């Protein structure tokens, strides 16, 4: 499906308006929800501890609540990225609570180390256990593309296809290079992921998308959802 973006506001329905800062406070989430309602973003994407709060703040709107699962709490470099490596049971418990609290979508981090070790069975089961808990809710899997080889990215996408999730997602946005630049979504990774999954899954580009030109390029490369904290700036054409 080709998405036509003719003006900045056209991006709004494809944006997960995001605040995943570990230090976020309820007033920050309130602001996030108010902005999402005002601009018509697809979801607010937040940590699981804020799901119930956000659900209440969004009553009467069409904006959905997206909760991250197994998400990091600190910035690391690519050589130190071991995201998603908590036991599967911990991800399951976090997903269960998020669903009970009203989450409409889940974005889970795959076990990066097990993927790099070619442990397909582990990664498959890790995702599948969370999918069972999601119980038909939209499930996106974050592969942290910038710390993977192209072969590993393809493997991650193939596993996601096998489990039949809804989206593959590029990044957490919590990996930075030595200069502090976010190693997030790239047009090349979005194209590779779209080529691998075809029309079977969605592709979410996330991490480092800070302006309209970049956001539009991600959509044109094949993304059909964007994770952005600069969403208001983006739909304003900046």
For residue 160, what are its two tokens? 């996601």
204 included as an active-site residue:
yes
- Contacts of residue 33, defined as CB under 8 A and 6 or more positions apart, other chains included, come to 44, 54, 57, 58, 63
Q: What's the rounded mean pLDDT across residues 196-207?
A: 97
Q: Taking the chain, what is the end-to-end CA distance rounded to the nearest angstrom?
A: 26
Answer yes or no: is pLDDT of 49 > 80. Answer: yes
Residue tagged active-site, from 131, 153, 204, 216: 204
Instruction: Point out which residues pair with 46 in neighbouring strands.
Output: 19, 67
What pLDDT, on a 0 to 100 scale, did the predictor assign at position 218?
98
What pLDDT, on a 0 to 100 scale, did the predictor assign at position 112?
98
pLDDT digits (tens, 9 = 90+) for 167-184: 999 999 999 999 999 999
pLDDT digits (tens, 9 = 90+) for 80-97: 999 999 999 999 999 999
What pLDDT, on a 0 to 100 scale, did the predictor assign at position 238?
79
What pLDDT, on a 0 to 100 scale, did the predictor assign at position 101?
98
What pLDDT, on a 0 to 100 scale, did the predictor assign at position 5?
94
Q: Which residue has the tokens 């992921």?
A: 193
* Rounded Cα gap, residues 236 and 238, in angstroms: 6
What pLDDT, on a 0 to 100 scale, did the predictor assign at position 68?
98
The candidate with the shortest Cα–Cα distance to 58, out of 31, 87, 93, 94, is: 31
Residue tagged active-site, from 169, 176, 189, 216: 169
Q: What's the rounded mean pLDDT across residues 56-74?
A: 97
Residue tagged active-site, from 16, 101, 107, 126: 107
Domain ranges, ordered by start, for the chain: 8-235
Provide the H-helix boundaries in the chain. 26-39, 51-57, 88-101, 112-116, 120-134, 150-163, 187-197, 212-221, 231-235
Answer yes or no: is pLDDT of 43 > 80. Answer: yes
Give domain 8-235's CATH number out of 3.20.20.70, 3.40.710.10, 3.40.50.300, 3.40.30.10. 3.20.20.70
* Rounded Cα gap, residues 15 and 115, in angstroms: 28
What pLDDT, on a 0 to 100 scale, did the predictor assign at position 2?
77
Confidence of residue 237 (pLDDT cuts 50, 70, 90): confident
113 included as an active-site residue:
no
Burial of residue 109, with CB atoms counted within 10 A of its CB: 0-12 exposed, 13-18 middle, 19 or more buried: buried
Q: What percent of the chain has pLDDT over 70?
A: 100
Answer yes or no: is pLDDT of 1 > 80. Answer: no
Average pLDDT, the chain: 97
């Amino acid at each position: 499906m080709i998405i036509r973006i003719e003006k900045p506001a056209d991006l709004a329905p494809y944006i997960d308006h995001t605040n995943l800062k570990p230090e976020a406070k309820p007033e920050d989430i309130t602001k996030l929800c108010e902005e999402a309602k005002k601009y018509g973003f697809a979801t607010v994407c937040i940590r699981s501890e804020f799901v119930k709060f956000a659900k209440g703040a969004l009553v009467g709107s069409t904006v959905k609540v997206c909760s991250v699962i197994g998400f990091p709490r600190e910035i690391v470099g690519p050589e130190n990225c071991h995201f998603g490596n908590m036991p599967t049971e911990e991800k399951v418990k976090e997903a269960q609570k998020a669903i009970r609290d009203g989450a409409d979508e889940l974005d889970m981090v795959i076990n990066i180390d097990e993927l790099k070790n070619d442990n397909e069975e582990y990664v498959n089961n890790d995702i599948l256990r969370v999918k069972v808990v999601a119980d038909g809710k939209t499930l996106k899997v974050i592969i942290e593309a910038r710390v993977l080889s192209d072969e590993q990215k393809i493997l991650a996408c193939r596993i996601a296809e096998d489990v039949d999730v809804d989206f593959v997602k590029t990044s957490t946005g919590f990996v930075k290079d030595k200069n502090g630049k976010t190693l997030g979504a790239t047009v090349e990774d979005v194209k590779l992921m779209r080529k691998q999954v075809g029309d079977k899954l969605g592709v979410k580009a996330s991490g480092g998308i800070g302006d309209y030109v970049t956001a539009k390029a991600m959509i044109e490369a094949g993304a059909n959802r964007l994770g952005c904290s600069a969403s208001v700036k983006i739909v304003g054409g900046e």
